[in-house]
Structure 1
Amino acid sequence: MRPHLALIEDEPDFALMCRSYLEHEGFTVTWAMDARAGKSVLHESSVDLAVLDLGLPDGSGLELLRALRSTSRLPVIVVTGRGAEADRVAGLEIGADDYLVKPFSQRELVARIRAVLRRSQPPEVSAVIQVGSLRIDTAARQASAEGVSLTLRPKEYALLEMLGEAPGRVFSTEQVLERIWGAAWQQPATVIEHVYRLRGKLAALPVPAPRITTVRGYGYRLDP
């Protein structure tokens, strides 16, 4: 997917040049001309990184960065004028991930953005979860036990993967609904039905396999 950038910059010619180059390099760019519009973009859009000019017409970019850092770890690259060393230092102290001094080349901007995005990615986890004889391939979204495949519906697989990520940990019905259905207001019977079907498929395997245990009053766990 194309990374989504917020470009918060008040110089139209410079902003349009940046946006055109960044889009050509494979990014989606939303441009905001001032702090108010920038705040709206940062809070209402799914943004992967912000390029923030500290000199905005309706307020300090530093204040916008400080407000953002109170609620978010969104990667931010601050942009300053050549002589604004104090602003650069303040931006880094508040929590900017990098900075650029105008004028700068578009190639350098792209390189800085890609470097910050790489650093901000969570560490890679194994694509395979192994719980006893059970092997869950999260990339292929398939599960098997000693070579015997399980035929699972999408929600059954998601439930098995969730439990398999932390064997022995008890997950509540509300946690399962929020993670798999995206809404804790769904009926608990939905989880009970899927646990029942998944438990039956694990039990039907011709080899020993982990089992789903009901912890009365708490939820469910996967036992090797």
Structure 2
Amino acid sequence: MVAERPQALVIEDSPEITLLVRGLLEKEGYAVIATPRGAQGLDYARARRPDLVILDLSLPDADGVEVCRALRAFSDAYVVMVTGRDDEVDKIIGLSVGADDYVTKPFSPRELAARVRAMRRRPRVASAQVKRDLGRIVIDPTSREVTVDSENVEMTKIEFDILDLLTSSPRRTFTREQLLMHVWGEWFGDDHVIEVHMGKLRRKLGESAGQPRHIRTLRGVGYRFEPV
């Protein structure tokens, strides 16, 4: 029986980049569909349920950040944002609405291929598949559901994997390198991406930025989870 090919969606208005990315992803074994428009991309995502989305930040009909936000309302696909503006603001904004990674134009096909491969083999956290009751926070690794104060909280893949790792051993400090390896598998950018995801995760847990109750930062070392 032939295994079903993973699905990829490319939302990019540059024909040259679309052609390059399509060829690269097809070589990686993906079935690819592409569109230059954000609205149509969302329609395709609802219909096709892709495993991977390559999303341009600047589209002719929509802001890529808003497309990513809308996508996250119904999809847990891996999302790589493509930006032509090489500044941290774009990168942080993109990651804060649920993107898993980003590349900046012009980018190397080899670099993008490596990141896609890393996503496909990204290890899920090997933790006991039992529900963890951590006071106001309850985590179910089997269903990948999180409740805070008895309310369901939506998590992206990255956010859940970070929280799953930290709560697998409460009060243990995980280094930045351990987080990168366990959650991302490989990383080719700067590790500032961890801080971005931690900030989003803390907000979802109802944390105060100045006085976090659960996710504690040990400067120059890493992070740990404190049950309350």
With normalisation by structure 1, the TM-score equals: 0.51
1:124 offset after TM fit, Å?
9.8
Residue 106 of structure 2 corresponds to 103
**Alpha carbons of 1:33 and 1:23: their partners in 2 closer, same or farther (altered >3 Å)?**
same
Corresponding residue for residue 50 of structure 1: 53
Quick one: distance in 1 between partners of 2:123 and 2:102? 15
1:19 aligns to 2:22 (yes or no): yes
Whether 2:67 is the aligned partner of 1:64: answer: yes
- Report how far residue 70 of structure 1 moved: 2.4
Give the Cα separation in 1 of the matches to 2:14 and 2:111. Answer: 19
Q: Give the Å deviation of 1:123.
A: 5.5
Q: 8 Å contact 2:49–2:75 — kept in the other structure?
A: no
Is the aligned partner of 1:31 residue 2:34? yes
Amino acid at match of 1:67: A
Paired with 1:110 and 1:84, the residues of 2 have a C-alpha distance of 22
Unpaired runs of at least 5, structure 1: 127-224
Q: Measure how far apart 1:37 and its partner are.
A: 1.4
Matched length: 126
Larger Rg: 1
The CA distance in 2 between the partners of 1:46 and 1:67, in whole Å, is 14
Partner of 1:83: 86
Identity across the alignment (%): 44
How is 1:1-224 mapped onto 2 (pairs within 5 angstroms)?
Answer: 1-119=4-122
TM-score normalized by structure 2? 0.50
Question: Separation in 1 of the partners of 2:123 and 2:78?
Answer: 7
Does the residue aligned with 1:71 lie in a helix, a strand or coil? coil
Deviations along 1:63-116, whole A, 9 cap, x unmatched? 011112223322111111143431111011111111111111111111111212
Misfit runs of 4+, over 4 Å: 120-126
Distance 1:10 1:78 in 2: 13
The one-letter code matched in structure 1 to 2:93 is A
